[in-house]
Structure formats: C-alpha cells, structure tokens
Structure 1
C-alpha cells in the first residue's frame, strides 16, 4: 500500500473545480453561473448587523435544527412555486452540494444505485462515489430533453434508490416538464427523486416549479440554493423541501451543528431582503434571452435555457474557442458535450464584451463544426 492510504478508487483523481483566475487574468468572468449583481447596500448592512449579533453568541453551539431558518425558507418557498410547505418539510446545509451529499449518505450506500441522465451536473457522480453508491447514467435526446419511455425503462431496470434530476439542467439550461417528474416519481417506487432547482428562480414565464408536485409524490425532493438568484454564492446555503420523513432520515447523517450561527444569521437576513436580492432576476432573464437570440443569429446551435447560463456550439475545436476568449479577457466554461461551451449571463457590459470577443475568435479561423 502506498502512502497516503487513500481509497483506491480515489487515487490520482483531481479535485473538482472550475478554473479560478484573477480579475487581472480574466476581467470578464462568466464561467460559474454566479449572479453578477451583489447584495444591495441595505441587505449587506442587515447581514452585517445580524452576523455581529451572532458573533456575541459564538461561545455557544448554534441551533442544530435551525428552526427559525426553516420557518423562513418554508415561507419563501410558498411564495416561489410551492404551497402548504411547512418548516418540518424543509432541510438546509452548507450549499446544495452538502444537501446532495447528505441525500446520498442517507439513501445511497453500498449495494444501492444513483441515477441521472447525461449531460447532467458533473458533481453528481462524485456525490455517488463519495457515498459508495453505484452510479448509472442514462442519456438525453439530441435537444437535451428526456425520452420519457426510455427513462422509465432505465429506472425499472436499475431500481435506483436516488434519481437526480437538475431542472433547469446544468449544463444545458433545459427544464423538465411536470409530467416527466411525475412519471419518474411513479417509476421509482420507494426510491427518492431529487429535482435540483438550483436555477429555479430563473425559469421562464409559464415554466412551473416541481414544488407544485410535492403534495402528490411523497418520494419527491426539490432542492434550491441561495447561491444564484439570491446572489449569495459566498454564504453557502442550500436547502430542500420534501416529506418530513425524508428530512428526518437526513438528520441521521448530518454532522453535529452543521449550520453555523453565522450562516443561519446571514441566510435569515437575506430572506428579509428577498424582493431586492431577487430584483435583478428579470434583468438576467432578459439578458439571457437576448444572448440566446444573438448566438442563433451567428448560426450557432443554442439550447433553450431556463437558467442564468447558455449552452452553445458546436465547435470543431471548442478548447481553441475557449482559449481564444480567454485571450480577450473573457472566461467561460468548457463543459457539457463535446463541441459545446457554456457562458454565464452577466451584466449587459459583460455580455457585450463576450459577444465582441466571440465574434473576433470565430472570424480568426474556422472553429465551427459543420458536420
């Protein structure tokens, strides 16, 4: 055995992470789907005051059930696509990453299977690996939608204990229709179906939230985050709504006092300012839709997006395009199927810089895949 004695399946693996460059290296950073508009001065001041109050209690452990925060999150979800959601139906952790890992720890494990449909969020197989859960991946159609019959058949064949469904999907931005979610909840039997709505607030008008389906499916989990629409990526707060029995099961695997007093205070202050923090969502939706239209005018393929990012292609040499954009100070993400790139939606000025750089890069040499 070589040192250190890491699990063999982890040996040699690089840790997950998108490229992080300084603003000097890349003045326009559009690669990790952040909200480009930070908290308002009023929200920041309220957060600072709340954290200062929490700081006076740091000699004591925080409320391990984060009761007040669960009440606030339930109230917010009931105004954002849900109804009848109670605090007992809400769970939260340090980012939706920890929420997902806790789900796999509680419902996955040796001899159990987690399932998703590619292209999908690249961290899902890592959650499964870390929880020693078998990973099965189906595939989406050419337009990144789900073939419902094929998806149902795969669920019936593999009998997963957890099905992971990002909607809007990352990296494609496409949303799942309610009938797809209901079908998979029925097909999964007693398995857990997680609809990851990290980008749910950015969905287009008329696109429903899976929160509406909670009364019909006891095995449905709908997760959200405060990192995106709430512009609190640095605060690390993810949460979910589901049947109280599922929340109780997750409580078994959570670490003691996993949400610090500072995190709870920050999130509660943000919820008090939800209207203003979410006030730029419409602006970002509009910028996204203009970006989709512009990319299509350039003759590129673009996935329909209900998120705050856009997947576009196809390029014969996508890394060369990515590198060319970086040479002009614009950092986007090289992810998704071969030939595709993903750009986060930034401010109007940032998107102008992206368009100008992409125009130059595409005219430098033949980059587009015309097959």
Structure 2
C-alpha cells in the first residue's frame, strides 16, 4: 500500500477543498441556525460534483462495488471510485458535514445502488439522488431486525412499514428502502428497493430536529401499500441463506470508509483551527522539543494528531481494498470505529482546549463538535463496529457472537 495520495486525484482534492473553503464555510453557521432550510447555494455546485464523479457508476457519497472495482488484488494496484470518494468527502467535511450531505445527487443511497445493482439498474438509476432508509423505531443497530415488508404482487412489490433517520429523505429523488420478503426467513429475506419520490403510499411524516448536521434534512417516512416495480429490487430477488443478507450488507463495506473520511475531515478542521488559536496565544507547537519539556497543550495536540493520522491510514486502506476487489468488511469497520471515535474525541477536546472561544458561536469549533457525533453513530454505531471486527477476527457468525 502506497501511503501517498495518488497524483490523479490531486485536482479532485483541490476542487473539493475550494468548495469547502469558499462555499461551505461562509454559509455553515447560516444553515446550522436555519434547520431544514434547503441550502440553495449548493445547486450550482451540484454540477461541479457531477464533474468530479464523471465516469463513476455512483454518486459522490457512494463508493464503487468491490467486484466491479477490479479483480482479486493481484492484477496491479488500482485507485478508483472508493478512494476518490473518500478523499473528496474528507475535504468537503473539512468545510461542513451537513452541507456535504445536502449536495444534490450525492446521497448515501447511491452507495447501495453501486454496491448491489445490476448493469441495467446502474444505467437507469445511476444519476438518481437516492437516500438510504434502513433504521426503524424498533430496529436501530440490528439491521436484521427490520420489520418493513415487501410482498410480491404481480409485476410489483407492495411495501409496508416505517423508516426513521433517513438522511436527505425529503429532498432526494428516491429512497433505497430495506424490507423483508418473508419475515419468517430472517435476515436472508432482507432486500433493498429503490422507491422513487412521489410513489403513492410513501409519505414523509416529519423532519427531525437534531444536535448536529442541521443543514441536512433527516426524515421519518411511512410506507403504506406502496407499490414498487419489480425491476427496482436491487440485486438477486431469490432468498438465499448464504448470500441474501450479505448482498445488502455489502453496502456498509462501501459506505463505512466514506463516513470515516467524513469524520477525519471535520476532526482535521477542528485541529487546524485549534492550532491557530493556541499559536496566536504564544504557545510553541513545534515538534522538536522533547515531550517532557513541552506544555500540556502541545503534548495534547500532538497526541490528537497521531490518533487522527492512524484513523486516516485505516480509512485509506479500507478504500484501497475495495478498489482492488479485496473483501474489506473487517477493515471498513475498523476504519469507521477508529475514525468515528477519534473524530468525536478530537472535536470535543478542541472545544475544551480553546475555552470560551471553543464554546461560543464566534468560532465553528462548537458546531464541529456537534456535527461529529453523528459520524460515530450512523452507518453502524461504535459498539456494532467492534462486534463486527470481533466476529471477523474470531471467525464467528452473528448467531455465535452477539
């Protein structure tokens, strides 16, 4: 694994940083205060993001399918869609996490389409702005416990159920819904369906008020006898104990490194701003002096930087493995667990180190601390990631290690 950023991605990283600095940062506080208001300033930049993702089968927040990204890892080093997505989202979240989640056609549901859709579906749905609907009132961390059903009816499936915490659920053009074809057959019967906006039977019940990422709409959606064409079922319609749920879960193998990259972006923003404030106060932050001669603040910031770098390298490895067609479930969870925890810890510690400046609205530090918390929760909580890692290391199934 080459630890340097591929040169071909330099224009993308630079472009994303420019958008983050010149567009996101100036309006960040505005849309934090105006929760649920659509950031109209992002419309012109949707086309820029389309250009950044030209040639990729997914959106900006979606990563490419493992098998589609290239062979078995033995036919040369590849850096493709997954790496590009992680690098781009890291820079955008250095600007603002909520706004990064609000860019049209860059929904997390696009990751599901990229992960399990067939070629016909990719061509038909590839440009659709798709949200992701998994969580339910009675099924949070345990995705296998979802109760939403999809019943076969002629050329359609009829979906019934309720989903909560759907990012971009109101604004997106479609929602990727996880539902069970037969609840008696457990997790193997869980499939994902693309439900387009305006489909009769799909209703946005409410928008949630949140601690952070207020620029992004988070919806609760009800499905009542919602008829979805059979061709909108992603992946294999057959119920298979061996690979039925695994196909749906592959979505997470793609999105977890992306969320890890988002956590790295906001944590880096907090660290950089804290360094500026501390240096302005006259504290030496150079790396030359020995640890025992440094101030407590200097030692603290250096330790936080080391933690962030560890999380960054884990994230790049998970993305690199996906681009090279290597199974990355363990590595994706390791990256998400490390970056989610470290990102939240860093932003909170930066608030503390900067005192009143960190806690007040004169700086974005307090906002970054609020925004970072969700990155340790969605796409699988910290505890779920550790459970997945333990299963992979010990060779245990979900039934054997709960």
TM range (shorter): under 0.3
Of structures 1 and 2, the one with the larger relative CO (CA 8 A, separation 6+) is: 1
More helix by share: 2
TM-score (norm 2): 0.25
